[in-house]
């Protein structure tokens, strides 16, 4: 008879209740079945687990105490794992690794993650390190569970897109710039300007993909900056113009350090999306996190529109 988990539970119950009858009731066994189990274990290993010479209350022998020490170490871990498995089965636990294509996403993603943790403390959350120019391969290679992106390339059949919200991309100029009083900018307005962008491929930039390239416009000079705050500072100091999501302008616009101008007469609106596998999309914690993003953005971000997610 090998040592089994049920033997550890038996020793634990005997030590707790001090009688076979009470221990058997706790374990949903008859006293005779419990006694038979103990005697079989003693016979198997040739040791005594109970001190039967000390009156009516059952006490553990030194060997029984040693086995109890193992039970007290092992059983809590087993119970914890059982509870974790139940939570996972119910969708209350799991892992959520997030990769982002958007430089400015952390303005709204971090608050959404913080609020989500309050309601789903058993979900392990993490950000895949660094900005990802193309986060979809991370999802397809199981290195991320959710990616945030705007214009995805061709996707595998098991990848599902979840529209999060629509946002306006605005041009940014110094308030003293010649274009600052325009009601909107046309693609041709960028021809003679120094354009400040993130150091990524043009197809990853909304301004190029949706506004300049369709019109065949290429600014005469480019300048790159890794951080949003550096782009804003360069525009504020008159070193060039830029285009960012309206929500990213923040205090620079409020204090009139930069002037935000629509792109085209209708403005340039894009849809930010999340991508998951179809399997992950069915998990309760994933659905809750997507809903948390939409609610957080609607309550806190300027220059966005709520859209119906799928």
pLDDT at 310: 38
Pair 182, 260 in one domain: yes
Looking at the structure of the chain, the number of domains it has is 3
Helix (H) or strand (E) holding 74: helix 62-90
Residue 74: the pLDDT is 93
Beta bridge partners of 162: 274
pLDDT of residue 259: 97
Rounded Cα gap, residues 74 and 11, in angstroms: 12
Tally of helices (H runs) and strands (E runs) in the chain:
11, 12
**Cα–Cα distances in Å, from 189 out to 126, 194, 206, 265?**
41, 11, 16, 13
CA distance 53 to 104: 74
Residue 64: predicted pLDDT: 92
Residue 55 has pLDDT above 60, yes or no: no
Q: Are residues 75 and 219 in the same domain?
A: no
- The verdict on residue 297 lying in a domain is yes
In a domain, 125, yes or no: yes
Domain presence at residue 105: yes
Considering the domain architecture, whether residues 180 and 149 belong to the same structural domain is answered as no
- Confidence band (pLDDT; 50, 70, 90) for 163? very high
Band of residue 26 on the pLDDT scale cut at 50, 70, 90:
confident
Q: Which long-range contacts link 67-74 to residues 24+ away (Cβ below 8 Å)?
A: 67/7, 67/8, 67/11, 68/11, 68/12, 68/15, 70/8, 71/8, 71/9, 71/11, 71/12, 72/12, 74/5, 74/8
Question: Is the domain of 190 the same as that of 261?
Answer: yes
What is the extent of the structural domain holding 79?
A: 5-88
Radius of gyration over every alpha carbon of the chain, rounded to an integer in angstroms: 31
Distance CA 125, CA 95 (A): 6
Q: What is the pLDDT of residue 65?
A: 93
For residues 249-277, average pLDDT: 94
pTM above 0.85, yes or no: no
Structure tokens at 35: 């006694």
Res. 33 pLDDT band, cuts 50 70 90:
very high
Average pLDDT (21-42) is: 91
Q: Kindly tell me if the per-residue pLDDT of 102 is higher than 90.
A: no
The more confident residue out of 154 and 117 is 117
Structure tokens at 23: 């221990």
Q: Over 60: is that where the pLDDT of 309 sits?
A: no
Query: Average pLDDT in the 217-230 region?
Result: 94
The pLDDT of residue 145 is above 90:
yes
The SS3 of residue 161 is: strand
Give the pLDDT band of residue 298 (cuts 50, 70, 90): confident
The H-assigned helical ranges of the chain are: 5-17, 20-27, 31-45, 62-90, 106-119, 136-140, 206, 228-236, 251-254, 278-281, 284-300
Give the H/E segment covering residue 118: helix 106-119
Is 310 inside a domain boundary?
A: no
Chain mean pLDDT for the chain: 88
pLDDT digits (tens, 9 = 90+) for 234-243: 999 999 999 9
Let me know whether 81 and 208 are in one domain: no
* 195-215: pLDDT as tens digits: 999 998 898 899 999 999 999
Q: Supply the CATH number for residue 221's domain.
A: 3.40.190.10
> Residue 23 pLDDT more than 60?
yes
Q: Quote the pLDDT of residue 132.
A: 61
Residue 80 sits in a domain of what CATH number? Answer: 1.10.10.10
What does the pLDDT average to over 187-192? 96
């Amino acid at each position: 008879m090998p040592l089994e988990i049920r033997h550890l539970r038996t020793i634990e119950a005997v030590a707790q209740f001090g009688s076979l009858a009470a221990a058997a009731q706790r374990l949903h066994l008859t006293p005779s079945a419990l006694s038979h189990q103990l005697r079989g274990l003693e016979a198997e290993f040739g040791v005594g687990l109970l001190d039967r010479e000390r009156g009516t209350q059952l006490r553990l022998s030194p060997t029984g105490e040693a086995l109890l020490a193992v039970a007290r170490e092992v059983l809590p871990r087993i119970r914890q794992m059982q509870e974790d498995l139940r939570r996972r089965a119910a969708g209350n636990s799991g892992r959520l690794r997030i990769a982002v294509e958007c430089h400015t996403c952390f303005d709204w993603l971090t608050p959404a993650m913080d609020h989500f943790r309050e309601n789903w403390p058993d979900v392990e959350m993490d950000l895949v390190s660094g900005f990802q120019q193309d986060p979809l391969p991370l999802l397809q290679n199981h290195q991320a569970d959710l990616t945030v992106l705007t214009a995805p390339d061709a996707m595998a059949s098991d990848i599902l897109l979840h529209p999060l919200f629509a946002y306006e991309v605005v041009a940014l100029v110094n308030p003293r710039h010649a274009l600052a009083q325009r009601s909107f900018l046309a693609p041709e307005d960028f021809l003679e300007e120094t354009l400040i962008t993130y150091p990524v491929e043009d197809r990853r930039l909304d301004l190029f993909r949706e506004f300049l390239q369709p019109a065949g416009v290429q600014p005469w000079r480019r300048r790159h900056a890794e951080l949003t705050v550096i782009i804003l500072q360069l525009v504020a100091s008159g070193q060039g113009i830029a285009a960012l999501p309206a929500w990213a302008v923040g205090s620079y616009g409020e204090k009139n350090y930069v002037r935000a101008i629509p792109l085209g007469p209708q403005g340039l609106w894009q849809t930010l999306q999340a991508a998951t596998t179809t399997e992950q999309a069915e998990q309760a914690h994933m659905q809750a996190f997507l809903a948390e993003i939409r609610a957080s953005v609607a309550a806190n971000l300027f220059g966005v529109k709520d859209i119906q997610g799928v």
